[in-house]
Amino acid sequence: MNIHHLELFYYVAKFGGINEAVRNIPYGIQQPAVSSQIIQLEETLGLSLFQRRPFALTAAGEELFNFIQPFFDNLGATADRLRGGVSQHIRIGASEIVLRDYLPEVLEEVRKKFTKLKLTLREGYQPQLESWLQKGELDLALTVLDQKPPTGSHSVVLFEMPLVLLVSKRNKTKSADELFSRDKIEESLISLPPHETITKVFQQHLARRGIDWFPGIEVSSINLVEQYAARGYGIGLSLEIPRRRPTADIRVLPLTDFPSVRFGVLWQGKLSPIHSTFLETIQQIARKLAEARTAASTGGAPTGVAPVAAQK
């Protein structure tokens, strides 16, 4: 059997399909090439290793995967030991805002200790990030947190972010109380999907107040919430994000009596030295943001960060 074919089969079996394998193989290879070489492996063996749709290993595929998995699982760690060092590769998932505006500062500090830092960065939101983490596709996820971390996960809360509404300055609404005092809210609510913690917290609190206002426009990111609110498509549900201000044509309506949303880090298993360094660094930066908030609040400028303890 071709060892490279076995390696490709390992990724297919581990991640549950050829498309998922291509996203996680640590070198460039296209889906047709993987498919072709897996077919060659099956022809060599004279049997099928997995069912394509829905994905499921055959009995032979299970037996082969169980045989090769320990070897490929431990290959990276063995290479690190032979080099006389520890792994300097870290796989991080976060939203586009976090990857663009906050993560570079953290990684600059980590790179001072791990000079050969290798990165894999994936953009996503809470449900995606939690799924990728549980599948072993990420080491750390920076995301909004539910009250309890997903099964088998650990979490550290970095700070809390108040909920806010975003309205175009062409809209005459000046406060959330004014909006909620109406018999019926005519404007469309622009929000993330209902399974996102931000939306769930908002809707739960609306229900306690006896208010029905459900999304009229569902989008996939906070950036899109702001863009559509600014263009007057409705009123956006967002967060008061540290060091980030909405565009000039947006009015922010604080939701002062609504619960804040917690933001933090998720991971599974034991932290490696580089993961521990990353976690310590991002906690230090979160504390600086909290100090900046305290200083800004003296002058009445909101920033919305408050550090909270770790959870397991």
176 and 202 in contact (C-beta within 8 Å)?
no
The H or E element containing residue 166 is: strand 163-168
Residues 265-283 have pLDDT tens digits of 999 888 888 999 999 999 9
Cα radius of gyration (the chain): 23
pLDDT at 242: 82
Alpha-carbon gap, residue 140 to 159, rounded angstroms? 17
In the 8-state DSSP scheme, what is residue 149? P
pTM given for the model: 0.69
Identify the structural domains of the chain with CATH numbers, from first to last.
Answer: 3-73 (1.10.10.10), 79-160+262-311 (3.40.190.10), 163-259 (3.40.190.10)
Q: How far apart are CA 259 and CA 11, in angstroms?
A: 42
How many Cβ atoms are within 10 Å of 237's Cβ, its own excluded?
Answer: 25
pLDDT digits 0-9 by tens, 110-150? 999 988 888 999 998 888 899 888 888 899 999 999 878 88
Say what the pLDDT of residue 112 is. Answer: 92
The pLDDT of residue 81 is: 66
Neighbour-count burial for 165-193, b at 16+ CB within 10 Å, e otherwise: bbbbeebebeebeebeeeeebebbbbbbe
In the prediction, which pLDDT does 83 show? 58
Distance CA 126, CA 195 (A): 9
Residue 126 contacts residue 144 (beta carbons within 8 Å): yes
- pLDDT value at residue 25: 84
- Residue 303: per-residue pLDDT: 41
235 within 8 A of 179, measured Cβ to Cβ: yes
Residue 133, classed as helix, strand or coil, is helix
At position 66, the amino acid (one-letter code) is N
pLDDT at 86: 60
The DSSP output letter for 183 is: S
Where on the phi/psi map is residue 136: left (φ > 0), alpha (ψ -120 to 50), or beta?
left
Strand order in the sheet with 250-254: 215-218, 189-191, 235-239, 163-168, 250-254
Locus of tokens 């309205």: 167
Question: Which residue, among 309, 307, 301, has the nearest Cα to 286 in the 3D structure?
Answer: 307
Residue 187 Ramachandran class (φ > 0 left, ψ -120 to 50 alpha, else beta): beta
Q: Which ranges constitute the DSSP H helices of the chain?
A: 3-15, 18-24, 31-45, 59-73, 75-83, 96-101, 103-113, 126-134, 176-180, 197-208, 222-230, 273-298
DSSP state letters, 219-284: -SSHHHHHHHHHTTSSEEEEE--TT----TTEEEEE-TTSPPEEEEEEEESPPPHHHHHHHHHHHH
What is the predicted pLDDT for the residue at 298? 58
Mean pLDDT, consecutive 10-residue segments, the chain of 312 residues? 92 91 83 93 94 92 94 78 69 92 93 89 90 87 88 89 95 94 93 92 94 94 94 95 85 94 92 91 89 65 42 45
